[in-house]
Amino acid sequence: MTHKIAILGASGYTGAELVRLIATHPGLEIAALGANAKAGQSMSAVFPHLRHLDLPDLRKIDEIDFSAIDLCFCALPHKTSQEVIAALPRDLRIVDLSADFRLRDPAEYEKWYGNPHAAPELQKQAVYGLTEFYRDQIRNARLVAGTGCNAATGQYALRPLIAAEAIDSDHIVLDMKCAVSGAGRSLRENLLHAELSEGYHAYAVGSVHRHMAEFDQEFSALAGRPVAVQFTPHLMPANRGILATSYVHGDAAQIHRVLTEAYADEPFVHVLPYGEQPSTRHVRGSNFCHIGVTADRAPGRAIVIAALDNLTKGSSGQALQNANLMLDLEETTGLMLAPCFP
Amino acid sequence: MTHKIAILGASGYTGAELVRLIATHPGLEIAALGANAKAGQSMSAVFPHLRHLDLPDLRKIDEIDFSAIDLCFCALPHKTSQEVIAALPRDLRIVDLSADFRLRDPAEYEKWYGNPHAAPELQKQAVYGLTEFYRDQIRNARLVAGTGCNAATGQYALRPLIAAEAIDSDHIVLDMKCAVSGAGRSLRENLLHAELSEGYHAYAVGSVHRHMAEFDQEFSALAGRPVAVQFTPHLMPANRGILATSYVHGDAAQIHRVLTEAYADEPFVHVLPYGEQPSTRHVRGSNFCHIGVTADRAPGRAIVIAALDNLTKGSSGQALQNANLMLDLEETTGLMLAPCFP
Amino acid sequence: MTHKIAILGASGYTGAELVRLIATHPGLEIAALGANAKAGQSMSAVFPHLRHLDLPDLRKIDEIDFSAIDLCFCALPHKTSQEVIAALPRDLRIVDLSADFRLRDPAEYEKWYGNPHAAPELQKQAVYGLTEFYRDQIRNARLVAGTGCNAATGQYALRPLIAAEAIDSDHIVLDMKCAVSGAGRSLRENLLHAELSEGYHAYAVGSVHRHMAEFDQEFSALAGRPVAVQFTPHLMPANRGILATSYVHGDAAQIHRVLTEAYADEPFVHVLPYGEQPSTRHVRGSNFCHIGVTADRAPGRAIVIAALDNLTKGSSGQALQNANLMLDLEETTGLMLAPCFP
Amino acid sequence: MTHKIAILGASGYTGAELVRLIATHPGLEIAALGANAKAGQSMSAVFPHLRHLDLPDLRKIDEIDFSAIDLCFCALPHKTSQEVIAALPRDLRIVDLSADFRLRDPAEYEKWYGNPHAAPELQKQAVYGLTEFYRDQIRNARLVAGTGCNAATGQYALRPLIAAEAIDSDHIVLDMKCAVSGAGRSLRENLLHAELSEGYHAYAVGSVHRHMAEFDQEFSALAGRPVAVQFTPHLMPANRGILATSYVHGDAAQIHRVLTEAYADEPFVHVLPYGEQPSTRHVRGSNFCHIGVTADRAPGRAIVIAALDNLTKGSSGQALQNANLMLDLEETTGLMLAPCFP
């Protein structure tokens, strides 16, 4: 049996990545592609790499008939998403890839995003989409909120450690290296090849990046008290990948053990042998996350490094993994693509 | 039913690419991985991006039991391949990815490769592996010789045109731009990041690249008389992709028509709408080849540009496509992966 | 003695490159920087790599006092340039880097650029700025028109050959590989890192690129009859550099001799030993042009490859070389910077 | 007056960078180039980007006549350097770029480098080459030991802060992003373009990188007690640049003030306006170091980020700056080249 799905915001990179993944998924059929600004165009005009697929043309979202849709992916920009989703049929199941429903507390949302939430009722219903940790709730959710790509990477490295109190939650530094596709297909000077190639740099310095709000929410909930990490993202001259280097206080051997056990049965999160380092090239284009643990020479300190593909495990792959759960399909369906290296 | 396959030369890029593709192929099982220099190592030690797969360890080729193998991929270096294959069981079906069996004429082989062929009997049997043009022979072949990656790209652009006499075979210039993975994982100064990034240049200038021999053989056979194109490859600061820009004498509209008809039923070779240009990013990691045709302002001249991924359609994807035929599987099985963009 | 210069259009890449070069030029002082859209900003806000320099702030062009300026570089966009220059004091000497004054024939200008020229009188006066071939006229010119970067590269490879009739002017194919900075700092989707990295492709296919007009003008003048080359530019995943691969009919040894003699006394144009190939990394950031000559295996055919840095020898370095001549300075002053490799 | 210099180890990247810089230095003449493995070759054969220079051929070090040399740059590999320098004339002034003389304590040297020092007497004489902090000693030194490129970057960010006790020396995390040219021109798999492009990763994790020894030595001396920072380098898909992100405990405003005052009169070290971030593209190819300071949202914590070009300010530029001092030349001579961006 095939489930019909729609993708809203299909003209962006995460929309295209959803199509790429669904292209070899045996249980899903793309029935509608929404993209208001490019409505009327074919998908292959917007993304020529998808020209071999038989896809519906892009159309305006309010012209889509959702009655035949089993599940809707919403890959729209922040703020737009909440308005569009509020107007969708109430029984339509939704996987949202925007930031709009990640924060449970409306006050936190307003603090980080600068505007009151337009759909606070939906916000309450939404389940945080970090699959490995919200699996049961996701299965039954009507609305799943995909995580930030940086937020996912840092949480894979740290959640089991905070939960097990294997590290000191008051001393966590998260230094993150982020590929440029995370910024989307928008026309901004710092995303130009001539600016970025041979030009890496930090941004949102001072733990003020919006994905910070997710760390605050999730790590504090795990610890049962406020946890505030330090987090600095850096823009990399590369297209895909996030590498999160975490500096923690804790025993490296125990940290490795806790992480290894936590992910022992996970198909997509792999803890490397002690002392090995992950690399973004080893997860590129795949739904895998690799985690490495090494002791610092300073006793009681360790480095935990996680790598994943921001467009796959960090957003569209995660979304598909969640959709599989919601549709009662095998969770890994369509997601076992091996990384594309070199 | 699952066919057991072996991959000899699994520690190189084309070997790894075979494993990547076969990882989601429903009808093949990797039963043995041969790599003499790295025998004893696990595949994930050599290629950590494949660590999620349950693969046999690398072993010496002469320690592999071929009796249970249905088909053997041979991704060994040139010259090594012919010796290894000569020693394999006579009933084992083989897809070779090296240059050793591409040329039918032993004298041509010796001229281009500098040594007499070590297995001239096998050379006679081998079928040239450009699937779309040798499909029937491949189906029944015992030994299929994978084409050069440059040779494949140029032939997709030009074969139907030479066959249909839509272009003047005496005036063909093939300017090729080749990503670095085509040179393999060998340690050579010009393959270093510090040398290649921001440093593109021509090599094997003067139509002396060995893939030239394939153009000579194939184009001359098609034309029924000697055809000698001009061909210059250029090394690109990119990991995957070949872009072949062909300057031809002929009517662009007719050229577009001939190519469109020639590939109308082909699943992997796509002729773009007239005047559109292919890009390597639109085929990256996939088995597709895109071809664009545009008229030059000079009457009677046209530009035909083909793009493919050298590791996929240019070698390992082609090899798998041929294996599918040889094993009587659907030709496209495991090969419909969408390109990995961005 | 120091000459005071102004740079109009200082907020673009060629403007910044002029500042970079003039920074270590002993005879020039930057007295004014014009940039209408960014007027009021400091140069280091727009180009932080220039923050060590003591530069005037950017200001509106019509607020600049040109009475104290000895020479004005005009690095404005095409079409804007002709209007601005028409309004400048009639005795101000100007090196223009735009396309506006490259074509001597107003009809040709209108054909290629789509609008009638706004300053046809100035167009008549302008001297074409390919230094090595217009040196004497440049010395005494009031207005010098910098060449297109592709146009410069192709001409260095071919002018002496056409002039000496060492090649057949009816059979010239120019396949060009162009780094992205040639497109300027404009916000266009195809210039994004995520699009261009791992994605090279042809553009302006069919010999319709506007630099074509310069080839037509210059080569025809040299040959004394219409010469129309075929020219296809390709966008490279690199920031600086143009590599022009020319396929010509002629004797390679003679071609090498003609080029070697033509450039024997030139400080910036170097013909490599016969059979060696230039690479963009060997000219990066410098004012040098390297040219290689190799015979094709087809008798009577040869490949001539030229490499230069599009921002330096292809535009701003050329402009400074011309300014040196106009100001009666040593031609190489400030331009002997070695290439920045790796 | 011109000083004659020699460069030993001229066939590596730091040797080539010395030549690039000296090419426009008015007071130095390259009298000898030593490179044992490539002796007999011309410099332009090894580094074609230097072909415009009139340079002596490479020769064996023991064939160089040092009697006419005023100063010798030694850019040899670690361990080789100490043996070669021990054999040089005792009155020859030397700027060494290797690691051999950076550590004052022979026991520390042996601990980090694994062998007893071969020239402990020389080790005692050597002055640590971080110009801004050892200027007076360098002026009179016979042997100056160039710093590690990572070590330089971290020290520019942190030395004034440790000296002024503006930060807590027990809580310093140094996360470093290092371009590939820092690894030299050696043939190693992880330096290949196909491996590094789209593949960034940490290495020497656990504060075990050898440059760590310099941090230990210098920071402890400044603090008057043992200081041990945490330091993790990451290999970047870029050719030049180091970005050091330091996480420190201290008041950001005070930190900014201390750094601003410390470097107020320095020609090459620039502290950016509070809250601005440095980028490697803004120092590429230059001798400048940019430093940015930002407060973390966590009170009492700050981020200090330094960027420099590893080949210039991080090694060869530093070496030339020191040579200028030793030869009683203006310290900035030949070093005011503007960064090469884009």
At B4-31, the pLDDT tens digits run: 999 999 999 999 999 999 999 999 999 9
Question: Phi and psi (nearest 5°) for D91?
Answer: -100, 5
CA distances from C280 to B180, B205, C43, D198 (A): 16, 16, 28, 22
Whether residue B277 and residue C175 make contact (CB cut-off 8 A), yes or no, is no
Same domain (yes/no): B53, B114: yes
pLDDT bin (cut points 50, 70, 90) of residue D1 is confident
**Residue A58 backbone phi and psi in degrees, to 5:** -65, 140
D339 located within any domain: no
Q: What CA–CA distances, in Å, run from D273 to B147, D84, D286, D291? A: 58, 45, 20, 9
Cα–Cα distance between D138 and D322 in angstroms, integer? Answer: 7
pTM of the model: 0.97
pLDDT tens track for B197-214: 999 999 999 999 999 999
Q: How far apart are CA B135 and CA B269, in angstroms?
A: 14
Residue A340 domain-assigned? Answer: no
Q: Are D196 and D235 in contact (CB under 8 A)?
A: yes
Angstrom distances, CA of residue C27 to CA of C9, C30, C338, D48, D215: 21, 10, 19, 30, 43
Beta strands A173-178 and A143-145 are unpaired
- Mapped onto helix, strand or coil, the DSSP state of residue B230 is strand
pLDDT reported for residue D211: 95
- Measured between beta carbons, the chain B residues lying within 8 angstroms of D194 are 13, 180-181, 185, 191, 239
Please give the positions of B annotated as active site.
149
- Tally of CB atoms within 10 A around D124: 11
**pLDDT of the residue at A121:** 94
Kindly state the tokens that stand for A110: 């307003």
Regarding whether C23 and C62 lie in a shared domain, the answer is yes
Whether A260 and A317 map to the same domain: the answer is no
Average pLDDT, chain C: 97
CA of C185 vs chain D CAs: smallest distance (Å): 10
Query: Measured between alpha carbons, how far is B153 from A192 in angstroms, rounded to an integer?
Result: 30
Radius of gyration of chain A from Cα atoms?
Answer: 19
Question: Is C81 an 8 Å CB contact of chain D?
Answer: no
What average pLDDT does this structure show over B218-229?
A: 97
What residue in C sits closest to B281 (Cα-Cα)?
Answer: C199
Instruction: Dig out the tokens for C68 from the structure.
Output: 């104290």
Is residue B333 in some structural domain? Answer: no
Q: Can you say how many angstroms the Cα of residue C256 is from the centroid of all Cα atoms in its chain?
A: 24
Q: What percent of chain C has pLDDT over 90?
A: 99
Domain count, chain C: 2
In a domain, A331, yes or no: no
- The Cα C326–Cα C91 span in angstroms is 13
Q: Strands across the sheet with A143-145, in order?
A: A58-59, A28-34, A3-8, A71-74, A93-96, A143-145, A127-128
Give chain C positions within 8 Å (CB) of A180: 192-194
How far is it, in rounded angstroms, from Cα C163 to Cα C158? 9
Asked if D184 and D178 count as a contact pair (C-beta separation under 8 A), the reply is no
Specify whether C68 is located in the same domain as C135: yes
* pLDDT tens readout for residues C320-334: 999 999 999 999 999
The three-state secondary structure class of B77 is coil
CB < 8 Å to D311, chain C: 342
Identity of the residue in C47, C282, C336 whose CB atom sits nearest the CB atom of D23? C336
One domain for residues B19 and B126: yes
Q: Which two tokens stand for residue A30?
A: 């793309």
Q: Please report the residues numbered 176 through 195 in chain D whose beta carbons come closer than 8 angstroms to any beta carbon of chain B.
A: 180-181, 185, 187-189, 191-195
Q: Say whether both C59 and C134 belong to one domain.
A: yes
Taking one residue from B and the other from D, the number of pairs with CB-CB distance under 8 angstroms is 55
Q: What is the 3-state secondary structure (H, E, C) of chain D?
A: CCEEEEEECCCCHHHHHHHHHHCCCCCEEEEEEECCCCCCCCHHHHCHHHCCCCCCCEECHHHCCHHHCCEEEECCCCCHHHHHHHCCCCCCEEEECCCCCCCCCHHHHHHHHCCCCCCHHHHHHCEECCHHHHHHHHHHCCEEECCCHHHHHHHHHHHHHHHCCCECCCCCEEEEEECHHHHCCCCCHHHEHHHHCCCCEECCCCCCCCCHHHHHHHHHHHHCCCCCCEEEEEECCCCCCEEEEEEEEECHHHHHHHHHHHCCCCCCEEECCCCCCCEHHHCCCCCCEEEEEEECCCCCEEEEEEEECCCHHHHHHHHHHHHHHHCCCCCCCCCCCCCCCC
**Residue of chain C with shortest Cα separation from B241:** C198
Closest CA to A35 of A5, A17, A57: A57
Exactly one of D72, D74, D149, D178 is catalytic; name it: D149
CA distance A339 to chain D (A): 12
pLDDT, tens only, A294-315: 999 999 999 999 999 999 999 9
Query: For residue A180, which residues of chain D lie inside 8 Å, CB to CB?
Result: none
Please tell me which of the candidates C185, C187, C198 has its beta carbon nearest to residue A239.
C198
How far apart are alpha carbons A87 and A119 in whole angstroms? 10
Residue A342 lies in a domain: no
Contact A195 D247 (CB under 8 A): no
For residue C163, what are the domain limits? 150-309
What is the rounded average pLDDT of the residues A16-37? 97
Chain A residues with CB-CB distance to B339 below 8 A = 20, 49-50
Q: Do both D135 and D212 map to the same domain?
A: no
Indicate the pLDDT class of residue B1, thresholds 50, 70 and 90: confident
Nearest C-alpha in B relative to A184: B342
User: Which residues pair with residue B244 across a beta bridge?
Assistant: B176, B306
Give yes or no for a contact between C47 and C19, defined as CB atoms under 8 angstroms apart. Answer: yes
A-B CB pairs within 8 A amount to 94
Residue type, C153: T
Same domain, C170 and C157: yes
Between B168 and B186, where is the model more confident? B168
Give yes or no: residues D322 and D261 share one domain. Answer: no
Q: For residue A342, is the peptide bond before it cis, meaning its omega torsion is within 30 degrees of 0? A: yes
pLDDT recorded at residue C112: 96
Does residue C84 carry a pLDDT above 80? yes
- D29 pairs with which residues across the strands? D4
Half-sphere exposure of C141 (CA within 13 A, CB side): 30
Identify the residue whose tokens are 């991924």: B309
Nearest one of C314, C284, B240, C195 to A192, comparing CA atoms: C195
Does residue B90 sit at the D interface (CB-CB below 8 Å)?
Answer: no
**Mean pLDDT in residue range B265-275:** 98
Residue C336 lies in a domain: no
Sign of the Cα torsion A167, A171, A174, A175 reads negative
Provide, rounded to the nearest whole percent, the portion of chain D with pLDDT above 90: 99
Residue B124 belongs to domain with CATH number: 3.40.50.720
Asked if C279 has any chain B CB less than 8 Å from its own CB, the reply is: yes
As a whole number of angstroms, the distance between CA A169 and CA A225 comes to 10
Rounded distance, CA D228 to CA D220, Å? Answer: 8
DSSP of A149-211 = HHHHHHHHHHHHHHHTT-B-TTS-EEEEEE-GGGGTT---GGGBHHHHTT--EE-STTTTSTH
Give the pLDDT confidence of C218-240 residue by residue, as tens digits: 999 999 999 999 999 999 999 99
With 80 as the cut, is the pLDDT of residue C1 above it?
no
CATH number, domain of D229, equals 3.30.360.10
Question: Does the residue C332 lie in any domain?
Answer: no
Which of A133, A168, A159, A269 has its CA nearest to residue A222? A159
- For residue range D265-312, what is the model confidence (pLDDT) as tens digits? 999 999 999 999 999 999 999 999 999 999 999 999 999 999 999 999
The Cα–Cα gap between A79 and A82 comes to: 6
Burial per residue of D256-274, b for 16 or more beta-carbon CB atoms within 10 angstroms, e otherwise: bbbbbebbeeebbbbbbee
Q: Which two tokens stand for residue B94?
A: 């083989």
Contact flag B290-A48 (C-beta cutoff 8 Å): yes
Residue A204: inside a domain: yes
Judge if the upstream peptide bond of residue D342 is cis by omega within 30 degrees of 0: yes
- B304 and B318 in a single domain? The answer is no
**Whether residue A178 lies in the annotated active site:** no
> Tokens 């699937």, residue?
B131
pLDDT for residue C75: 98
Q: How far apart are CA B108 and CA B129, in angstroms?
A: 18
In chain D, what residues touch B195 (CB-CB under 8 Å)? 193
Q: Which of A177, A194, A281 sits opposite D177 (nearest CB)?
A: A177
**CB nearest D303 (choices: A179, A205, A240):** A205
In whole angstroms, how far apart are CA C184 and each of A115, A192, C49, D326, D342? 36, 10, 17, 43, 10
The answer to whether C113 touches C99, Cβ cutoff 8 Å, is yes
- Is pLDDT at C32 greater than 80 in this prediction? yes
Q: Are residues B137 and B236 in the same domain?
A: no
Residues B248 and B282 in one domain: yes
